[in-house]
Structures are given as structure tokens and as C-alpha cells.
Amino acid sequence: MNTVTLTVKNTPELFLECENVNPDAFAGKKAADIAKLGAFQGKEITTLGDYFTIAGEAGATAADTKIVINGDCTKMKYIGAKMNAGEVIVNSTCDMYTGSWMSGGKLLVKGNVHSFCGLAMKGGEFTIEGNAGNYLGAAYRGDWRGMSGGVLRVKGNAGSDVGTFMIGGEMIIEGDVDIHLGTHMEGGRIIVKGNANRRVGGQVVKGEIYIFGKINVMMPGYKQVGEVSLDVDGTKAKFAEYIGDIGERHPKRKGETVYGKLYMKQ
Amino acid sequence: MSEFIIKNGHVFDPVQGIKGDKKDIAVKDGKIIESVSSGARVINAAGKTVMAGALEIHAHVAGPKVNAGRWYRPEDKHFDSHKKPGMTRIEGGKSIPTVFKTGYEYARMGFTFAMEAAMPPLYARHVHEEIHDTPIIDEAALPVFGNNWFILEYLKNHEVENTAAYIAWVLRQTKGYGIKCVNPGGTEAWAWGLNCLTIHDPVPYFEITPAEIIKGLIEANEYLGLPHSMHLHQNDLGNPGNYKTTIDSLKLAEGMTAKNNFGREQVLHSTHIQFHSYGGTNWGDFESKAKEVMDYVNKQKNLTIDTGNVTLDETTTMTADGPFEHHLHGLNHLKWFNVDVELETAAGIVPFIYDPSNAVFCSQWAVGLEIPLYAKDPMRCFITTDHPNAGPFTRYPRVYSWLMSKKVRDELLNGFKKAAKVIGATTLANIDREITLYELAAMTRAGPAKALGLMKDYGGLKAGMNADIAIYNINPDKFPSTGPEIEKAFANVAYLFKDGKICVEEGKVMDMGHKKTFWVDAKVKENKQVAHDVKEKFLRYYSINENNYSVPESYAPHQHIIAVDATQ
Amino acid sequence: MPKDVTDVICPFCGTLCDDLIVTVSDDNKTILGVKNACAIGAEKFNHQRLPGRVQRPRMRQADGSYKEITYDEAIDWTANLLVKSRKTLMYGWASTSCQAMSIGHEIAEKVGGIVDNCATVCHGSSLIAIEDVGVPSCTLGEVKNRADRVIFWGCNPAHAHPRHMSRYSIFPRGFFTVKGHKGRKIYCVDCRYTDTAKCADEFIQVQQGYDYELLNAFRTAVRGEALPDFVGGVPKEKIQAMADDLKSARFGIIFFGMGLTHTMGRNHNIDIAINLTRDMNDHTKFAIMAMRGHWNVTGSGQVLGWQYGFPYAVDLSRRDQARHQTGETTSVDLLNRNEVEACFYIATDPGAHFPVDAMISSSRKPTVTVDPHINCTTEISDIHIPVAMVGVEVGGCAYRMDNVPIETRKVVDPPEGMLTDEELLTKINTRVDELLAKGGA
């Protein structure tokens, strides 16, 4: 695997759209070619070379390409968005749409990410060492197809609207989450190792949510059906099992109604 | 430059019976003429196909529900919004393109006219605002009448003259083109959450049946002598076993003859008949009844139809058939939009994915192809996708490729995951017919023009007709053999002339043309009853004043008004 | 002789009452009286003749004072600003006509603007909810003619839409509602006992911030499932009784306002209210409608819809694509994050409506404000361009809260030489073309 190292040399004044910073766009290119790829601030069309010092060259394919980004990326959007393969490591905080629509490969952000990251993620591994903003792993506006595959892990906290319209894959938040977790979920699983504020699992059709800490206010549409012992992301414990959202429609399988599941660590 | 000579093209024109002969077409000042001066610009059409501009007879391209479908589906254009180089604006949307994209894409495919298929009269101003902003193509809109309280009350007592006078009033107020009837009675029933699934189900409160509405509207249409016939979206759309209701509805036109000065012969246009040609009792034993329906249509010369071809895409369904959209939402659970319009109609919207791994959707696809392939008279059967219901209109080139090449459609059919089931439920596999370029010209040009009452000026290439001309990169002697090649040729005209001006060249928009809004001004005898009823209904039941109901002139700056006189 | 102009459309709120009668002087210059309008609507007309109305563009000077400049100077300054700025917020549009918006969008597409309207601080959350789950709705006449259950949830039309209750929702007699008010059962759900609540047969007091939970409880009750004893402070018996009563309706309607759109969860509150409405349609007929506030804000969403496919917050800054993301391309977010470098405000007053931080950010950027009157925003702008009042001094299309468009009427002439929005924008558009042709950007 070849490594391309980007080092920020100019911080954008507005926000920079970096949709070309991903292994698919870099594949098969040398540093000079990568420097010519577009980067956008509003209507101003510049190049990656205007903002980054670029070293190394990409592999022949995305899968053979690793990108390491150093310097301050706080004002950069779309890093790793739509990536299909390869690896990206960002040694900084990033802005919106980081890792959104990614379908494969590995993306590691060593700082925080802003909102709308991991939107409609389809596959691969996306790890955020800091905190994540709102709409992590949610669907794009209007779409009923949110995160559908892959593993999204946040080591810190995440904001509100996490996992909206999730239909598959796995999301682990090691810290706390704000309101509206897993709203409209129809598949997949969300594990929160800290506390969840309110409105957990509203309008859920199917899917699983695990909360290790507390929920401030429980949704009226959930009812406890039992207690189970589970191994969740390496933690063995007893969990109270709830079904819900009772107010939402639910499919039937073999005559049985399929509900969303909420597990609260005891 | 106002003079052109299109030289050596293979001309297909059912109006003159020209079947691909090499012929020159002369154009001057927006018209096709016999010959031009030596200074005319020469367009070399050698090895190309020349047809009149195509006419879309039924699509949802402008108005409140179309626009709701646009804006409530940001996901439909999140990755599909772009600007092409040149004079065009940003083009967005897959299943429901923006007005700009709508105009450009029709023009790029060789269309010069589109009929908005359902205009709620109360929202007519909205429809015309969008038509105004849609570039290049001429447009018209059909107001909906099948659930209108005036109509229900008049026709309950079979008052055809009052019905006609009211329709004439609405056409003038809304700058409308003709009479659209969607799920007669069923949409009014939907205001109470109900429906009319056969033509004999009574409409709640109004004590009238869909059959009486259909018959009455046909009679009113012929009383007025409108250019187009009554345009019907039948009851019980989209359900297994509905072909019986379809044929029952068509039978209502038996014995009626067209009375008009436009050369129109049909009294009833039955739209998107694909959705109405289903047998079986449920989605498990669902089967095609296209043959049965088309056998009837072929016999009855006073009928025209359009197809409503399923294109197997993710799309957005939208119709004034409110109860149907509610039903559909119950099947796929995708976001449901509904609006009930006071005294007049309703509309619903639900996104829909015609997934090619599903046997029912593939069977619907097959039914849509069987219909034109069973049609004996291409002048009475028109290709549509009921845009965007069965698929976006931008898929016409693909639909043509399936109709014109057995090889192309059989490859798809045999490749379906549930091929055996689809082949068993339909008859498409046994059909060898391939639609010819000449038949296609009838189904997309001459036929719809005649059915719309526009045959004098549109749909053909005869001298004196409007110079709306599409030239395709298709050599009939070497007709492309693969699907993608056929698609490419029909999706990007070599040239599109609109009103004698080149608006598209090699798929690139060159000129916004002189877009016109067509509407029909029907003169009727003074009718005090109707005038009184209008006043009364606005005072008591409408939420806006009568004086704020009409479409101002400024909304249609370039009008093409077709006058009819029904005072005699 | 003074004369009456009839069927006049009120230029104030989204109810778009179209039965006003305005008396104007013989010379078409002065409004002498307004009939049928509510107090707020009448006041809009009164503004037309306020003394001291600004009649020519004003430019702010270094000392903070304003100097009168010509329209041509203002147009040139504005066009230069738009051409130069890499990313411009073009916000407002709710008090102008659809025809003017269309020209504004053409400019935005050329200069890389982000077009946003008042929904961004109002019913934008309703629009997100509709994007997510659709909406079963109807026109206001349907309510008048059919509704026998009317729910006002987190809205107060008695103050915000004063004639709504008499024209459409509580009192009118319609075709199937011959008993008027007596034939309807009115519910009001709010955290406060409002003046609208006083008109209701039943008032349900929800604890602030518990609308989502309460709506979830209604959905659960409609499905006949058990409820906790209290939800949002409302006892389960009351929830169950109301759910049962709504199921027995012939035609029900929920009207909602800022109590849902701007409390915790925002779009989710509307989303779940829409889903309750959807569920009710399995039992009877039910509709739901946003109480759109600012006059033609609905029209802005419509025009943006047919031109770009998004209802607000339309980002054209790249000039080759349209994008939309509430939270990113919305005005307050753009200002708070300093994502734009210039502001063009038209036909609304963000200075009065936006959060303070956003306006502090705005005040540091070059700003043009187009508005008939002096307002909070004009005072932090570099240029204020006065224009004729739409719906009073010039007509144009506006959309009612139920998306019904009405062509509004001109009742008097604007002051001599004053441009309309359409005329002004056309001139700016022409100037932008000239600058771009010279290679301005």
C-alpha cells in the first residue's frame, strides 16, 4: 500500500470542500497530479495543491492507497466522503460530511468531526477518536435509507439525531449522546456506552439499541418484556429488554410482530 | 436565419405516409414550406432520421403535486444536480426534474410539446407559473373535473348543457386545454377516506356513479366540440383484476361519435392503460390482461390510449387519485404526501422503487410493452411513462429500445431474477413484433397530435405545418442493434427545430425558443344557472374569492388560444 | 372621488385573506381606509403612507450616518459585491412576489449565492419533517366544508393569524358543516393557556418540551396499546379519550405552529404529528397543516422547488449544482460559522428575527438590504435600497399557507420614481451580466 501525506499549508478563509481527498480520487496519481485536483470555496475554484503540501504517490487502485493528513482540517468538508476502499488517517478535527456515503476502506479521524458525518454509510470502518456532531450516520434529508453497513465508532460523545433512519450496520458511541437516537430506525444496531439524553428509539420499526448508562426520559411507546444476559462490544452484562416503538407500524414475520429492541444495562 | 433546408434525411411522416424516403424539408419563418431560396441554411441530414417534433400527451410536469414531489424529495437530486456548459441553467432531479431540466430534456429527445395531465383548477396559477418557467417546449394543461362538485351535481341530473357551460368557464379561468377525469367519484369519496373501485360504486352524498360521470363528461366534451377528447384515468388503478373495470369503462363510449372541427376521431382517451390491464385476484396470481384490453381497444375506433410504461427505476408516483396513493403507501410505507382540494379534487404522492428483482414490477414492465405491441393502429396508441408514475420521461429512449428491438427486450426479460414467473404471467415472450420508425412517428407525433386536435399544425412535416422537427442520428438502413446505442440516439437529437429555430444541436441546447402556452377558449350560450352556481359556490364554499380565481394574462405571455364555438 | 378596490389580498400573514376592500384617493396615491382586514393587516396598508418613508437608496458612511445615493449607484455597488464575493447569503424573499424571486434566483445562480427564506427560522423544521415523512394535508376550504375535529397544537392563531378561525377553522359554516362552530369539536394543545385555547372545547396542557412524547403516546393509544400513567403531564385517561374521539371524527385536522417547530426536537415533533395524522387515516380522514406565518414564504419554497428541487436553504455557491442541507446551508448556520462573505437581504428583517450572534456576524460583512421600510436590518447594512410594497403598490403572485397561489393586487401607486423588487432585481441582473462579461469573476 502506497502512502500519500497531505500537510495543510494554507487554512481556508471560508470552508474548503475537499471531496477529492479520498483514495478513489487519488488512485493512480503522483503528488503533482493530486495537487491539481479541485478544491472549492464557494465559487472560487482552487486545487488541493493550494492548500496542502503533498508527498508520496498513490497506489494503482484505491485499495492500495493510504492518505495521511496533518495540520488543521477544522474548516474542511467531505474528507473521505464516498470512499470505497483504501485508508485515510486525519490527524486533526474535521468539518462536515467526513466519511459520508463511504462504502469501504478505513477512515480514522484523530480529532472531532462536525455534523453530517458518516451519512448513509454503506460499508467500511469509520473511527472518530474525539466527539461527533449531530446527524452522525443518519440519512441525507428526505431519504429513508440511512446507514446501511459498516462499523462506525466514536470514542467520545455524539450529538443529536444519531443514526436517524438507520437500516443496517453497527454504530458504537463510547461516550454520551444527545436527543433523538435511532429515530425511524429500521435495522442495524447502535451501542451507547454512556448516557442518552431523551427520545431514544422514537418511531423505530426494527433494529437494536443498547444503552449502558441512563436515559433521561423514556419514550412512552416502549415496554419492558424481560431481562437478558448479553455480550455487547466486549462487555458481558445483564440488560433489561424493551420492545418499541409501540406507536409505530411494525412488520410481521411468520405471524409474529417484529418490534425494535432497546436494551438497558442493569 | 429564418430559412433552412434539411437535406437528404430519411423522413418518417404518417401525416403524408412517408416511410423513410429521402426527402428535403424546407423551413421558413417557423413553418414548413414547399421550397426555400438558395440562401437557406443547409442542414445535412444524410444518414439521419427526420420526424416531426414529438408530442407528450400525458405527463405530470408542472403544478402543485409535481412540485411537492420535487421539494419533498431532496434525495432525488442530492447527487443529481449539475449545470452543463452553455446557456442552460442548473438541472436537477432524477424522477421529477426541475422545470429547466424538464424543458431541456424533452427538447434533447426531440419533443416540442407536453401536456400537463392534471391541473387542479384552484391551483391553476401555480401550474402556469411552472409552465412559464419551463423552457423551449410548448405546453398545455388539463383541468380535472371527475370529482368536481359542480359536475357531480349537474350530471346527477344529466344536465349536459350546464356541465359544458361550467367546463367552458373553468377552461377560460384556468387557461385549460380540455377535460381530465381522474378516478371519477373516487377522489371525492376519498375526502371521507373512501373510494369508488368500480364504475357503479355510488359517490358518497352526491348519489352519482363513476359511469354516469364518465358518460356525462364525454357528452359535454362533444357538446363543446373541444380539440381533445375526454381524458380518463379510470377507477381501480393498479389493482389485480382491474381489467374488467377498464373494459366496462371503455364500453361507456360505445355508440358515441366525435363532433369537432379539428379532425379528432376519438371520444375517449384512456390514459396509462398499463396500470389498468391486470388480471388475477392478488399480487401472487397477478397476470397480464393487455391482450384482452387491446383486443377491445383495437375494435373500437372511437378510443385512443396511452401506455404508461414501467421503466424499472426508482421514481415518484403522483396522481389526483388520492385513495390510490394512500393504498400504495400502505404497501411500501414510503413517505406519503396528500392534498385534498376543496370542491375539486385531491392529489397524492409516494416514492416508488420498481425493483427489477420483483416479479410483479417486471410483469408491469411487460404489460406496458405488450400494449403498444398489440396495438393494431399506432395512430391510436401513444407511448408514455405517465411521468413520473411508471418512470421518468427521460427514459423514453429506453422504452423505444424495448419496443423496437425484440432482442433488447428479451435480453432483459430473460435476465430477470424471477424470469420464469414473469414469462408465465405475461405474454411478452411470445410477441415478435418490433415497432418501426414509421410506427413510432405515429405513436409519438402524428397520433397524439390528432388526438389532441392539433393535427392541422403539429405532428407532421407537411408544407404549411409548424416547423417543429426532430432529426436523429439514426440511419434506418443501419438501425442500431444494441439498447444503449438506440437510447443514445433518441436521447440526443442531432437537431431540434422548434417553430423553425434550432433549439438543440447534437444534444446541446442552443436556444430557448419561443415557448407557448396552449389553451382552449370555448364559447357557449349565456347560462344564468351556471353563473349563479359559480357565484354561490364561491360565496359559500370556496376559500378564495371568485375574482381571485382566474389565471392572469401575464402568467402565459405567449398564448396559443384555440377557439371553439358551441353556441350553435 | 375616493374609490374602493375590492378582492384585495392582505400582505401580512400566510392566511392570505383575499376579501379586503381598500379605499384609495382619486389620484391613486393614498390609502384612505381598509375594510375586512385584521388589525395587523390593516397596519400593513397604513405603513404605505407613513411620513418619513425612505424613497431613495441610502449608503452608510464612515461615521455611521446614511447618505442618499441613486438607484444606479446602489445597483452598481450591489452587482459588484455579488460578483466579487465567493459565497453570498441571499436571504429573505417572504414579502415579495414569486416573479421577483425568479429573477433573484437567476442572479444567485450566476454569482454563487445561497438562497434562503424565512422558513429557516420558522417552518423550516416542518419542511424537513415533510422531506422525511411526507404530509397528508388539504386546502383551507376543505377544513371549512368538512372538518368536525380541529386541533391547534403549539399555535395561537388568535394572535398570529387573526382571521384564520373565522374564515376557515372554527366558525365558518361550510357544505357539510352547516352548524359551523357547533358542529366542530376544537382542541388546543399548548404549554400555555392561550387566547386560542379560550376558543377550544378542550385544552390539553402539555409540559414544555414533551410534545414528542405526548404525540408518541397518542399514536400508541390509537393502536390500542397501554400507556404510562402520565405523559408530558397529561393523564393517560385524557389521552385515550381524545384518541378515541378523534377516531370517531368524519374529518379531522391538526394545525401546528412554533410550539412544535421551535421547541426541543423541532422537526421530529412535526414528523411524529404527521405520523399520527397518517395513522388516523387508517380509521377516518385526517389532515395536518403548518400555520405558515410570513406572507409569501410558502411561495419562495415553491419557486425554489420548481427551479432547484429544494424548499429553502438552496446552496448555489458552486454555480454548477444546487445543494440543500438544513444545519449547513441555512442562514443562521452560515452566519454563525462565518461561511459566507457577503449578505444580500430582501423582503424580510433578519435583524429582528435572527439570533444575536448571527446578526453580529452579519454586521461584519458587506451587506445590502432591499426593503420598503427602515427596519433592524437596514440599520446594519452598507446599503438600503427602498422598493415598492408588494401587495400594496405592486401586484405579484403569493402562496397561501396551504400552497394555494393568489395573484395579489396593486391598490395604490408607489412613490414617484420608486422601483419594484422585480425592476430592481432585473437591473442588478443586467449589471451582473455586464460585470461577468468583463471577466468580473
Mean of pLDDT values over B262-280: 98
Residue C53 lies in a domain: no
Q: Which of B70, B133, B326 sits opposite C102 (nearest CB)?
A: B133
User: Which A-chain residues 107-136 have CB contacts (< 8 A) with chain C?
Assistant: 115-116, 134-135
B78: chain A residues, CB-CB within 8 Å: 140-141, 143
Report CB contact under 8 Å: B75, A142: yes
- pLDDT tens digit string along C145-192? 999 999 999 999 999 999 999 999 999 999 999 999 999 999 999 999
- Considering only CB atoms, A179 lies closest to which of C220, C223, C265, namely C265
Contact call for B547 and C308, based on CB within 8 A: no
B521's grid cell: 377558449
Locate all alpha helices (DSSP H) within B284-405, ordered by sequence. Answer: 290-299, 322-332, 359-374, 396-404
Using only the alpha carbons of chain A, give its radius of gyration. 20
Cell triple for A72: 488543521
Low-confidence ranges of chain A (pLDDT < 50): none
pLDDT of residue C105: 98
Domains of chain B, first to last? 51-80+90-509 (3.20.20.140)
Pick among A143, A185, A249 to test the B interface (most B CBs inside 10 A): A143
Q: How far is A143 from chain B (nearest CA, A)?
A: 6
Give the number of beta-carbon pairs within 8 Å between A and B: 18
Strand ranges for B403-531 from DSSP E: 469-472, 495-498, 501-505, 508-509, 517-523
My answer on whether C136 and C275 are in the same domain is yes
Output the furthest CA–CA distance in chain C (Å, rounded).
Answer: 72
Residues C403 and B68: their CA atoms lie apart, in Å, by 10
Cα-Cα end-to-end distance for chain A: 45
Residue B350 burial (CB < 10 Å; 0-12/13-18/19+)? buried
pLDDT digits (tens, 9 = 90+) for B28-72: 999 999 999 999 999 999 999 999 999 999 999 999 999 999 999
Q: Do strands C234-235 and C134-138 pair parallel, antiparallel, or not at all (unpaired)?
A: unpaired
B192 contacts in C (CB within 8 Å)?
A: 146, 250-251, 285
Q: How far is B266 from chain C (nearest CA, A)?
A: 34
Chain C closest-CA separation from residue B551 CA (Å)? 8
- Same domain, residue pair C171 and C254: yes
Q: At B496, is the secondary structure helix, strand, or coil?
A: strand
Domain harbouring C139, CATH code: 3.40.228.10
- One domain for residues C76 and C195: no
Tell me which chains share at least 3 CB pairs under 8 Å with chain B.
A, C
Predicted confidence band at B296 (pLDDT cuts at 50, 70, 90)? very high
Query: Does residue C310 share a domain with residue C283?
Result: no
Q: Which of residues C257, C290, C323 is at a domain's end?
A: C290
Per-residue confidence (pLDDT) for residue B1, from 0 to 100: 52
Whether C364 and C330 map to the same domain: the answer is: yes
pLDDT above 70 covers a percentage of chain C that reads 100
Over residues B390-410, the pLDDT tens digits come to 999 999 999 999 999 999 999
| Pairwise CA distance, residues C113 & C110, whole Å | 8
Q: Which of B73, B76, B78 to mutate to test the interface with A (most CBs of A within 10 A)?
A: B78
| ipTM score of complex | 0.97
| C235 & C165 share domain | yes
Please tell me whether residue B280 adopts helix, strand or coil conformation. coil
Sheet holding C367-370, edge to edge: C66-68, C58-60, C383-385, C367-370, C342-346, C88-92, C113-117, C314-315, C323-324
Contacts of B79 (CB under 8 A, 6+ apart): none
Same structural domain, C107 and C21:
no
User: Which positions in chain C touch A244 (Cβ < 8 Å)?
Assistant: none
Q: Which residue does chain C place closest to B97, by CA atoms?
A: C309
Q: What is the pLDDT of residue B92?
A: 97
Say yes or no: C184 and C278 in one domain: yes
Q: Which residues of A touch B335 (CB under 8 A)?
A: 142, 144
The pLDDT score that the predictor gives to residue A266 is 93
What CATH number should be reported for the domain holding residue C354? 3.40.50.740
Is C273 within the bounds of a domain? yes
User: Under an 8 A CB cutoff, do C87 and A42 touch?
Assistant: yes
Question: With 70 as the cut, is the pLDDT of residue C440 above it?
Answer: no
Picking from C249, C271, C290, the residue at the C-terminal end of a domain is C290
What's the average model confidence in pLDDT over C110-138? 97
Cα separation values, B361 from B309, B314, B365, C171, Å = 11, 11, 6, 48
Q: Inter-chain contact C216–A220, Cβ cutoff 8 Å?
A: yes
Q: What percent of chain B has pLDDT over 70?
A: 100
Overall number of domains in chain C: 3
pLDDT tens per residue across span C282-294: 999 999 999 998 9
Q: What CA–CA distance (Å, rounded) separates B313 from B356?
A: 8
pLDDT per position as a tens digit, C359-377: 999 999 999 999 999 999 9
**Looking at residue C50, what is its pLDDT?**
83
Q: For B145-186, how does the pLDDT look when each residue is reduced to its tens digit (9 = 90+)?
A: 999 999 999 999 999 999 999 999 999 999 999 999 999 999
Which residues constitute the domain of residue C334?
A: 58-122+295-437
Measured between beta carbons, the chain B residues lying within 8 angstroms of A139 are: 75
Q: What is the pLDDT of residues B433-482, one digit of tens each?
A: 999 999 999 999 999 999 999 999 999 999 999 999 999 999 999 999 99
C143 lies in some domain: yes
Which tens digit of pLDDT belongs to each residue from C51-94? 889 999 999 999 999 999 999 999 999 999 999 999 999 999 99
C-beta of residue B310 within 8 angstroms of C-beta of residue B369: no
Q: Percent of chain B having pLDDT more than 90?
A: 99
Give every strand in the sheet of B345-353, ordered side by side.
Answer: B314-319, B345-353, B336-341, C134-138
**Residue C165 placed within a domain:** yes
Nearest to B235 by CA among B278, B272, B185: B185
The three cell numbers of residue C98 are: 414569486
**Helical pair C297-308 and B64-71, crossing angle rounded to 10 deg:** 80
Is residue C416 one of the residues assigned to a domain? yes
Task: Count CB neighbours of B483 within 10 A.
Answer: 20
Contact C217/A247, CB-based, under 8 Å?
yes
Same domain for C173 and C240, yes or no, is yes
Closest Cα in chain C, distance from residue A98 (Å) = 14
Domain boundary (C290, C315, C336) is at C290
Residue C149 lies in a domain: yes
pLDDT in tens, C292-339: 989 999 999 999 999 999 999 999 999 999 999 999 999 999 999 999
C321 and C299 fall within a common domain? yes
A101, A82 Cβ separation under 8 angstroms: yes
CA-based nearest residue in chain C for residue B63 = C306
What sign does the dihedral B473-B476-B477-B480 (CA atoms) show?
Answer: positive
Q: Is the dihedral of CA A17, A22, A27, A29 positive or negative?
A: positive
**Which one of A40, A93, A100, A141 would you mutate to disrupt binding with C, by most C Cβ within 10 Å of its Cβ?**
A141
How near does any CA of chain C get to the CA of A160, in Å?
9
Same domain, C158 and C93: no
- Give yes or no for a cis peptide into A245 (omega within 30° of 0): yes
Q: How confident is the model at residue B79 (pLDDT cuts 50, 70, 90)?
A: confident
Asked, for residue C52, whether it belongs to a domain, the answer is no
Mean pLDDT of C333-360: 97
Same domain? C10 vs C152: no
C315 in any annotated domain? yes
Nearest to B74 among A141, A144, A249 (CB): A141
